[in-house]
Amino acid sequence: YDGLHQCKIDKNMVHLSMKSIVDIKNVGGDIIVDSGSPHYIKIVQNVRKVNVFENGRKIRNDKLFRTEGINVNFVQIKSKNKYIIRTYERGVENETLSCGTGATAVAVAMHYLNKTSSNKIEINSEGGMMCVEFNENEKKYTDIFLIGSARKVFVGEIKI
């Protein structure tokens, strides 16, 4: 939990303010970004062929991350400002359909790695498309917004 976030809703689009990112680590070509939750980001050629459960679990349980845990994002580059991600989430201990802090971490990481010069990045996940916008100054990322559509995907009732 990284605190409260400001949000603006414009028609069916939600603009969620994310925390600033100032600490990015390069670990043997892969990137670690804390975007509210820690994320390990690995670029792959074909994200559809990745066994997210096995590979994500292996990284998440590495001795470097075992105690606190880490989310693992596998990223395929579609173009300079479009990426496809699949995410293994700590706590869930499995792949999830979408991850806002993961999308944010990936967008910033792609800019940090000079894979893009854009400050408006499209991220596609199994759960849908999101956009991440940010300002960058000397590899410090501020004014970050996660933007996506709002739609009902589940209704439930808990009886006690």
Give residue-wise pLDDT tens across range 77-95: 999 999 999 999 999 999 9
Tell me what pLDDT residue 148 has.
94
Whether the pTM exceeds 0.85: the reply is: yes
Q: Which of 42-46, 99-103, 147-151 has the lowest mean pLDDT?
A: 147-151
Tell me what pLDDT residue 1 has.
57
Q: Which of 7-16, 133-142, 149-158 has the largest mean confidence?
A: 133-142
Phi, psi of 65 (to 5 degrees): -120, -10
Please determine, for residue 3, whether its predicted confidence score (pLDDT) is greater than 80.
no
Phi, psi of 47 (to 5 degrees): -65, -25
Tell me what pLDDT residue 28 has.
86
Sorting pLDDT into bands at 50, 70 and 90, what band is 107? very high
Cα(68)–Cα(19) distance, integer angstroms: 20
Sorting pLDDT into bands at 50, 70 and 90, what band is 12? confident
Share of the chain above pLDDT 70, in %: 99
